[in-house]
Amino acid sequence: MNPSNRRPSTQSSANSQLVEQEERRADIGFGTKITDSHSRLVNKDGTFNIVRVNGTLWDRLNIYNRLIVMGWVPFFSWLLTGYLLANTLFAGIYMLAGSDTLIGVDDRVLNGPFWKCFFFSSQTLTTVGYGHISPNSFLTSCIAAFESMLGLLAFALATGLLYARFSRPIAHTRFSKNAVMAPYLDVNGWMFRIINTRDNQLINLQVSVSLSRIEPKSQSDSTLTRKYYGLSLERNKVNFFPTNWTLVHPITSESPLFGCTPQDLEASDAEFLVSIQATDDTFAQAVHTRYSYRYDEILWGYKFQPMFDGTQTSTVTLDLDRLDDVVEAELN
The secondary structure of residue 232, as a DSSP letter, is: P
Position 212 contacts a second copy (CB under 8 A): no
x-or-dash string of contact with a second copy, 163-182, rule CB under 8 A = xx-xxxx--x--------x-
What sign for the dihedral angle of Cα 135, 140, 146, 147?
Answer: negative
CA-CA distance, 59 to 299, in Å (whole number)?
A: 41
Position 211 contacts a second copy (CB under 8 A): no
Considering only residues 53 through 82, tell me which ones interact with a second copy, judged by CB under 8 A: 53-56, 59, 62, 64-65, 68-69, 79-80
Q: 192, 291, 302, 304: which one contacts a second copy (CB under 8 A)?
A: 302
Q: How far is the CB of 263 from a second copy (least distance, A)?
A: 7
Q: 85, 288, 296, 305: which one contacts a second copy (CB under 8 A)?
A: 288
Q: 32, 88, 141, 178: which one contacts a second copy (CB under 8 A)?
A: 141
Position 110 contacts a second copy (CB under 8 A): yes
Strand partners, 328: 302
Buried b (16+ CB within 10 A) or exposed e, 154-179: beeeeeebeeeeeeeeebebbbbebb
Position 253 contacts a second copy (CB under 8 A): yes
Position 88 contacts a second copy (CB under 8 A): no
Considering only residues 20 through 39, tell me which ones interact with a second copy, judged by CB under 8 A: 22-23, 27-31, 33-34, 36, 38-39
CA-CA distance, 318 to 177, in Å (whole number)?
A: 18
Q: 179, 268, 320, 324: which one contacts a second copy (CB under 8 A)?
A: 320
Nearest by Cα to 123 from 95, 101, 151, 143 = 151
Quickly list DSSP for 272-311. EEEEEEEEETTTTEEEEEEEEEEGGGEEETEEEPP-B-SS
Q: 238, 267, 297, 325: which one contacts a second copy (CB under 8 A)?
A: 238
